[in-house]
Amino acid sequence: MLIKKGFSLLPLSLLSLTMLSGVAMAADACVTAPLVIAHRGASGHLPEHTLEAYMLAMRMGADFIEPDLVPTKDGQLISRHENDLTHTTNVAVVPQFADRKTTKRIDGIPITGWFSEDFTLAEIKQLKAREPLSALRPQGAEHNDKFDIVTLAEIVGLVKQFEADTGRKVGLYIETKHPTYFRYEGKRIAGAPIALDISKMLVQQLQQLRFTEPSRVFIQSFEVQNLLELKQQLMPALKLKIPLIQLIGDTEKAYLPPQDSFSVPYDVFYHQQQSADLASIYKGSSFVALESKPLDYSVLLNDKGLNFIQNYAAGIGPWRSSIYQKHSLNLKPFVKAAQQQGLKVHPYTFRAEANYLMPKDEKTTFSYNQEMQALFKQGIDGLFTDYPDLALEQRALFQQSCKL
């Protein structure tokens, strides 16, 4: 069925997607296509952070794939969402590793499991990946114990081979996980300090792998210190100019220490608890040193916080639950404020399952498609999704509507 729009005919399905009530079109929404970032690969379809999930995302057309990096005992960077391997690998059923189970405090939270820093890469290669949301995603769980745990080098190799085979360049959107834990707090199972600077390891390895083109790499972190050091020290020393993204956790102070740490940049909280000299750690910034304890993520989204971020980062990655005004798909003012500061805004994470959809009222939710169209219409710069195929389909529809 077609409906007239001016002198053109617009498919009803397209009209219903682009005419979202109460969502205003940003003036420049049609100028630049928003990035579709495959969150942990095509993780809605296959076990996350595997070469197979990354390859599927690239074949679907994702602009970037997202590896999360943690170190092994022998200093190799592998792609896992957490250093706790319990829920994303088969480590719990591998008999020779039964004695590696232990309890550690990760960002102040006690966790019992098996941890990457207690395994050499050779031992990691004895494990297989598993779908962590097996009840929700049986399609992924069907592939449990089939795929390897992979290194940064293997991921770069895959992306380069994909480019050689197809002619299409795909980027890496890399997260350094728990930098403060690995550098200051964390201990190996035998009690020795881990003492690894994973940000330094990352840029050194990217240079060795010859994958440092600024248009093809982002480095993101929930912490601040490592991003500042990357900008001020580590990348200048290697003559690199990789764009950095400040990830933003919960802004409602619902996950504060000691119960949780998702509401605070953990490095700032840690140094505040240690009564450290913040002015020395966060060189060139009085902002962090002057903030109250604990500094929470909401502070980074006011005018002073955004001005601080733009000194070292190219953008922000806010939690999807923090970007909307109540019971609507209208974005909060900080999104436009960040963009006016010259910061890109790449929220995370968009999933298609019913329990992840945003509430419209007490009984109903917005559909995944409606949410995608609302974001594109309001000029979002990019987004992380477990279903890059669905997001790309909606982006194509939006771009079609821009031509009408």
Q: Give yes or no: 39 in active site.
A: yes
Question: Which is catalytic among the residues 39, 45, 49, 346?
Answer: 39
What number of other Cβ atoms are within 10 A of residue 194's Cβ? 20
Question: Comparing C-alpha atoms, which of 201, 135, 154 is closest to residue 53?
Answer: 154
Q: At what angle do helices 388-402 and 368-377 cross, to 10 degrees?
A: 50
Beta pairing partners, 260: none
| Catalytic status, residue 178 | no
Kindly state the tokens that stand for 208: 């060795």
| Active-site choice (49, 81, 271, 346) | 81
For residue 101, what is the enclosing H or E element?
none
Side-chain-side CA neighbours of residue 152 (13 Å): 27
For residue 20, give every residue at least 6 positions away whose Cβ sits within 8 Å of its Cβ, in sequence order, or none: 329, 370, 373, 374, 377
> Catalytic residue positions?
39, 81
